[in-house]
């Protein structure tokens, strides 16, 4: 391989912290994970493909590394779990610079260290042209306490964390040719997985079901409906829309500065959490500094109903987030 595979693995191994919970690590046939007594293992996998999930001309390598891990951590958050270890498989083109790979790992490692996630294994291969990365994140959750998609009941209230549509709005700007600084568009370039909130909801037994918003509200809400065999009604005026982070100089505040309802309903990759609670459950207005907003309720029906500002009800079709379309 033109890329110095062995030395790359050796370097990653040296630079990576081994947090408690991992025994044998990179360098044996398997990684050995200690799942605490009374806990279950959570496992999630995600592909990240160049020109599908990121573009080299738009996304600095640190952002690619961060977002790549954030997707997996967000899945762990959505079950109320604690991440333990990550395994990553990389297919890299031969002509990729060493500095790109180094900066990618810098972004990856910074997020991994913040949540004490050990990079416990992986594989590197050469790809013909494009960067392709597959990640697996392992977490743990107390036995029987994972928050599934299937636990919502008719009458339950629906909540979301944070504000929606911000990541998709930045992507629209990038597609339109705008320059977006990672520092001012952090919800797109460096999304924060809501691990603290997921663990809080689980520890306090607040939610009946949960999912992370990676494919967009309409699509992820449909997943909750499918798995819980129920319908939902949401209110357009209640949906917390992200403030558009302007690329230009002029900055206004207030309503005019919010992203469109369409982006808040269908835009993906916000990595906020959507959860349901019994109507008797008291839910804090904020958790870990992040606003929690009630947007609707679970119904006996089928599918998603959207109630607009004039109290008119229409069917909302899940649109499925396509990253660069």
Tell me the C-alpha distance between 76 and 247, whole Å.
Answer: 32
Alpha carbon 55 to its chain centroid, in Å, reads 18
CB of 325 to a second copy, least distance (A): 11
- DSSP code of 260? P
CB of 313 to a second copy, least distance (A): 27
Residue 192 phi, psi (nearest 5): -95, 115
Specify the residue, 90 or 259, whose C-beta has the smaller distance to a second copy: 90
**Residue labelled with tokens 């919010």:** 258
CB of 270 to a second copy, least distance (A): 15
CB of 79 to a second copy, least distance (A): 5
Strand 82-93 and strand 118-127: the pairing is parallel
Tell me the C-alpha distance between 164 and 242, whole Å.
Answer: 5
Tell me the C-alpha distance between 53 and 286, whole Å.
Answer: 30
Specify the residue, 146 or 197, whose C-beta has the smaller distance to a second copy: 146
Specify the residue, 159 or 235, whose C-beta has the smaller distance to a second copy: 159
CB of 232 to a second copy, least distance (A): 18
Specify the residue, 149 or 233, whose C-beta has the smaller distance to a second copy: 149
Specify the residue, 101 or 180, whose C-beta has the smaller distance to a second copy: 101
Alpha helices (H) along 229-281? 261-266
Specify the residue, 53 or 169, whose C-beta has the smaller distance to a second copy: 53
Here the tokens at position 201 are: 């909801």
> For residue 264, what are the contacts with CB-CB under 8 A and spacing of at least 6?
163, 164, 165, 217, 239, 240, 241, 242
85: three-class secondary structure by DSSP: strand
- DSSP code of 51? T
CB of 271 to a second copy, least distance (A): 11
Specify the residue, 86 or 259, whose C-beta has the smaller distance to a second copy: 86
Residues that bind a second copy in the complex, under the rule CB under 8 A: 23-24, 27-35, 37, 40-47, 49, 52, 75-76, 78-79, 81, 85, 87, 89, 91, 120-123, 125-130, 132, 134, 136, 138-139, 141, 143, 146, 148-150, 210-212, 227
Specify the residue, 145 or 246, whose C-beta has the smaller distance to a second copy: 145
Quick one: which H or E segment has residue 143?
Answer: none
Tell me the C-alpha distance between 140 and 39, whole Å.
Answer: 6
Specify the residue, 76 or 259, whose C-beta has the smaller distance to a second copy: 76
CB of 174 to a second copy, least distance (A): 21
CB of 148 to a second copy, least distance (A): 6
Tell me the C-alpha distance between 73 and 194, whole Å.
Answer: 8
CB of 27 to a second copy, least distance (A): 6
Quick one: which of 186, 146, 169, 117 has its CA closest to 275? Answer: 146
Alpha helices (H) along 38-179? 61-77, 98-114, 166-175
């Amino acid at each position: 391989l033109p890329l110095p595979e062995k030395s790359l693995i050796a370097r990653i191994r040296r630079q990576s912290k081994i947090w408690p919970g991992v025994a044998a690590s990179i360098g044996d046939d398997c990684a050995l994970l200690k799942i605490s007594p009374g806990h279950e293992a959570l496992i999630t996998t995600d592909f990240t493909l160049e020109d599908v999930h990121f573009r080299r001309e738009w996304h600095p390598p640190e952002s690619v590394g961060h977002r790549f891990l954030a997707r997996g951590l967000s899945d762990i958050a959505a079950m109320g779990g604690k991440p333990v270890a990550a395994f990553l498989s990389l297919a890299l083109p031969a002509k990729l610079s060493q500095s790109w790979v180094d900066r990618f790992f810098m972004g990856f490692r910074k997020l991994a260290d913040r949540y004490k996630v050990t990079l416990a294994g992986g594989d590197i291969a050469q790809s013909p042209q494009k960067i392709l990365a597959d990640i697996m994140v392992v977490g743990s959750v107390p036995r029987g306490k994972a928050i599934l998609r299937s636990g919502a009941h008719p009458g339950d209230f629906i909540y979301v964390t944070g504000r929606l549509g911000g990541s998709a709005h930045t992507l629209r700007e990038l597609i339109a040719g705008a320059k977006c600084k990672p520092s001012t568009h952090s919800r797109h370039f460096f999304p924060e997985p809501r691990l603290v909130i997921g663990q809080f909801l689980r520890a306090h037994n607040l939610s009946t079901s949960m999912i992370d918003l990676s494919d967009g509200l309409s699509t992820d809400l449909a997943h909750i409906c499918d798995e819980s065999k129920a319908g939902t009604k949401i209110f357009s005026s209640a949906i917390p829309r992200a403030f558009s982070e302007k690329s230009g100089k002029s900055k206004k505040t207030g309503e005019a500065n919010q992203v469109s309802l369409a982006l808040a309903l269908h835009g993906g990759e916000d990595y906020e959490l959507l959860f349901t609670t019994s109507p008797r459950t008291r839910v804090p207005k904020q958790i870990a500094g992040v606003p929690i907003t009630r947007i609707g309720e679970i119904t006996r029906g089928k599918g998603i109903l959207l109630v607009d500002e004039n109290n008119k009800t229409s069917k909302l079709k899940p649109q499925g987030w396509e990253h660069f379309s």
